[in-house]
């Protein structure tokens, strides 16, 4: 029997040297994206039965370099504006690589642990959140919102003498969560996971821009109060994924304050918008919220798997998510108890979260902000918001284009308009237009529906995008639209 493990544990230089050329080529985003065309090639190479004997380190690197990396996801390409996630910038990506090797757990007294705390503090400072709030990283907006709503649930039921984290919700009075019809569906799912139920989210209509109508919210709250339904939270969206609309936070804070309801702000995408003075006033009242969620893996462009929650009441977070002491996990024991071989555990986050073991994420946020600072991030956000305004200007100036939602942040929704065509016909034309953009050009927005109409929706958060791609998108959309409307 050999003592040697089959997995290579050193040879980092060989590994990096082998895959580096493929990675460098990849991030130039040159040539055609062959992932679709060559799908059979890489699928049949990769999707094989579990091997009894591994192919070994060299062959593994070879496969990564030739069969995986070249066909990777090109959402970091400069012309890609389809999603609100992008490929990370280099510094944070390398920080994540470093963490995988040197910081493979976020606890204990070591720099990666400290950087969880520093990363959260810097984020709070960047976004203008009070430093007294409890922050915690998690895997993204889905979990960040779930954690915030877990705290809201704790808050609402503790006031009725119920500890929902300990005892569950059996016997609790009926309850509800309030949000606009533009609320992200992960919020609804969070209600399901927390045992509140998807149906407990009461959605409130929005104005044409996509902002919650507060008179309708007040009416819904009044109606539910008369029916003795317990409000759990009002969820404001600060940057909807469809149009980038920002709910009137200050007004919602007033409503929540009057009725002592938890106000959660889902700013997964849009909270960074606060850095642009042109829209900063829309975030007034944020410090009156009870919790916020934000995704560094969106606009801050750190590697995917990084969301953050901040909650005003630190103790509440602990009661909602405590792990309870565990014998083998000495850090969970209260201070002063019999010590353990691990002594200090550093800053611990697993009592504010739904994860125990987790990668170090703070290091990526720290890396992004250490590299470019507040000014660099402010310039990025401002530039991207200006791109959306450039789209808006060009759409307004061209009779063939129709603005479907104005730019609040870095999204601008529009469609191509052919004269005398029905809304159904325009929906079909614009769907085809979007498909052709994706198939034939480097400009790849997504589509959505605004007021029932199919919209072309570029969202600019990609650090590699320049004005060339913004104008290129509009040029290509009008050209293809012209062709399609002649054909039709
Ligand atoms: C992206 C987003 C989410 C979901 O976040 P994930 O990181 O994709 O899980 C939720 N809410 C809003 C407003 C978002 O922009």
SS (H, E, C) 366-412: HHHHHHHHHHHHHHHHHHHHHHHHHHHHHHHHCCCEEEEECCCCCEC
Q: Among all chains, which residue has been given the structure tokens 């230089």?
A: 13
* C-alpha 319 chain-centroid distance: 26
Taking CA atoms only, the protein residue closest to ligand 1 atom 8 is 141
8 A C-beta contact, residue 306 and residue 365: yes
8 A C-beta contact, residue 269 and residue 239: yes
Query: Has residue 339 got a pLDDT over 60?
Result: no
Label residue 336 by pLDDT band (50, 70, 90): very low
Report CA(299)–ligand 1 centroid distance (Å). Answer: 11
Bridge partner residues of 459 (DSSP)? 411
Geometric angle at alpha carbon 347, from 343 and 351, rounded to 5°: 100
Query: Has residue 246 got a pLDDT over 70?
Result: yes
Percent pLDDT > 70 in the chain is: 96
CATH 3.20.20.70 holds for 93-325+332-369: no
Q: List C-alpha distances in Å: 43 to 69, 283, 315, 396.
A: 13, 46, 49, 45
How is the chain split into domains, by residue range?
A: 93-325+332-369
Average pLDDT over residues 396-415: 97
Query: Has residue 325 got a pLDDT over 80?
Result: no
* Whether residue 470 has its Cβ less than 6 Å from ligand 1: no
The DSSP 8-state label assigned to residue 229 in this structure reads P
* Whether residue 247 has its Cβ less than 6 Å from ligand 1: no
The DSSP 8-state label assigned to residue 339 in this structure reads P
Query: Has residue 228 got a pLDDT over 90?
Result: yes
SS3 of 414, please?
strand
Report CA(50)–ligand 1 centroid distance (Å). Answer: 34
Report CA(291)–ligand 1 centroid distance (Å). Answer: 15
Taking CA atoms only, the protein residue closest to ligand 1 atom 4 is 141
Taking CA atoms only, the protein residue closest to ligand 1 atom 10 is 141
Query: Has residue 35 got a pLDDT over 60?
Result: yes
**Average pLDDT of the chain to the nearest whole number:** 94
Residue 181: count of CB within 10 angstroms of its CB: 12
Bridge partner residues of 416 (DSSP)? 401
Report CA(269)–ligand 1 centroid distance (Å). Answer: 6
Report CA(131)–ligand 1 centroid distance (Å). Answer: 24
* Whether residue 140 has its Cβ less than 6 Å from ligand 1: yes
Mutate to test the pocket of ligand 1, among 88, 268, 460 (most ligand atoms within 8 A of CB): 268
Taking CA atoms only, the protein residue closest to ligand 1 atom 3 is 141
* Whether residue 320 has its Cβ less than 6 Å from ligand 1: no
Bridge partner residues of 80 (DSSP)? 444
Structure tokens at 334: 């209260």
Q: Among all chains, which residue has been given the structure tokens 């039921």?
A: 157
Mutate to test the pocket of ligand 1, among 144, 190, 269 (most ligand atoms within 8 A of CB): 269
Report CA(103)–ligand 1 centroid distance (Å). Answer: 26
Taking CA atoms only, the protein residue closest to ligand 1 atom 14 is 268
Geometric angle at alpha carbon 235, from 231 and 241, rounded to 5°: 155
* Whether residue 141 has its Cβ less than 6 Å from ligand 1: yes
pLDDT at res. 333: 46
pLDDT at res. 49: 96
SS3 of 176, please?
strand
Query: Has residue 202 got a pLDDT over 70?
Result: yes
SS3 of 59, please?
helix
Structure tokens at 189: 């799912």
Average pLDDT over residues 84-107: 94
Report CA(227)–ligand 1 centroid distance (Å). Answer: 32
pLDDT at res. 106: 82
Q: How many CA atoms lie within 13 A of 270 on its CB side?
A: 30
8 A C-beta contact, residue 245 and residue 267: no
Predicted model pTM: 0.95
pLDDT at res. 341: 58
Average pLDDT over residues 332-343: 52
DSSP string of 281-338, one letter each residue: GGGTTGGGSSEEEE-TTTTT-PPSS-EEEEES-HHHHHHHH----BTTBGGGSPTTSS
Closest CA to 177 of 151, 201, 142: 201
Q: Which DSSP helix (H) or strand (E) runs through 455?
A: strand 453-457
With both helix axes pointing from N to C terminus, report the angle between 362-397 and 90-102 in degrees, rounded to the nearest 10: 160
Average pLDDT over residues 29-34: 91
pLDDT at res. 332: 47
First to last CA, the chain: 73
* Whether residue 143 has its Cβ less than 6 Å from ligand 1: no
Mutate to test the pocket of ligand 1, among 142, 239, 299 (most ligand atoms within 8 A of CB): 142
């Amino acid at each position: 029997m050999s003592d040697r493990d089959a997995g290579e544990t050193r040879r980092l230089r060989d590994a990096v040297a082998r895959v580096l050329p493929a990675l460098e080529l990849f991030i130039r985003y040159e040539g055609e994206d062959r992932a679709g065309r060559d799908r059979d090639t890489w699928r049949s190479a990769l999707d094989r039965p579990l091997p009894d004997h591994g192919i070994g380190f060299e062959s593994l690197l070879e496969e990564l370099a030739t069969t995986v990396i070249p066909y990777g996801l090109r959402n970091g390409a400069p012309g890609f504006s389809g999603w609100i996630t992008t490929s990370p910038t280099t510094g944070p990506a390398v920080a994540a690589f470093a963490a995988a090797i040197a910081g493979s757990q976020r606890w204990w007294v070591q720099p990666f642990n400290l950087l969880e705390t520093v990363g959260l503090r810097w984020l709070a400072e960047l976004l203008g959140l009070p430093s007294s709030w409890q922050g915690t990283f998690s895997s993204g907006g889905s979990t960040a919102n779930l954690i915030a709503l877990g705290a809201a649930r704790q808050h609402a039921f503790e006031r009725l003498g119920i500890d929902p984290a300990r005892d569950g919700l059996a016997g609790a009075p009926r309850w509800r969560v309030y949000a606009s019809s533009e609320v992200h569906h992960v919020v609804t799912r969070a209600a399901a996971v927390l045992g509140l139920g998807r149906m407990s989210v009461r959605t409130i209509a929005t104005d044409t821009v996509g902002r919650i109508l507060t008179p309708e919210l007040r009416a819904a709250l009044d109606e539910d109060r008369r029916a003795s339904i317990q409000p759990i939270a009002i969820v404001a969206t600060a940057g909807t994924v469809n149009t980038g609309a920002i709910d009137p936070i200050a007004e919602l804070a007033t409503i929540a304050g009057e009725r002592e309801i938890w106000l959660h702000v889902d700013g997964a995408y849009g909270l960074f918008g606060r850095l642009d003075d042109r829209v900063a006033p829309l975030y007034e009242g944020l410090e009156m919220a009870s919790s916020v969620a934000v995704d560094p893996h969106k606009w801050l462009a750190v590697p995917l798997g990084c969301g953050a929650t901040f909650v005003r009441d630190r103790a509440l977070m602990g009661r909602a998510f405590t792990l309870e002491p565990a014998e083998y996990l000495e850090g969970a024991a209260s201070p002063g108890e019999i010590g353990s071989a691990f002594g200090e555990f550093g800053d611990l986050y697993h009592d504010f979260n739904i994860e125990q073991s987790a990668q170090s994420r703070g290091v990526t946020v720290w890396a992004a902000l250490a590299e470019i600072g507040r000014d660099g991030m402010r310039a990025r956000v401002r530039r991207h918001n200006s791109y959306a305004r450039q789209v808006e200007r060009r759409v307004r100036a061209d009779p063939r284009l129709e603005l479907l939602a104005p730019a609040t942040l870095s999204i601008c929704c529009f469609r191509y308009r052919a004269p005398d065509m029905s809304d159904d016909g325009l929906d079909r034309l614009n769907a085809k237009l979007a498909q052709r953009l994706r198939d034939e050009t480097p400009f790849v927005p997504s589509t959505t529906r605004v007021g029932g109409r199919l919209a072309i929706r570029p969202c600019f958060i990609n650090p590699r995008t320049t004005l060339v791609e913004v104008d290129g998108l509009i040029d290509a959309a009008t050209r293809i639209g012209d062709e399609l409307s002649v054909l039709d």
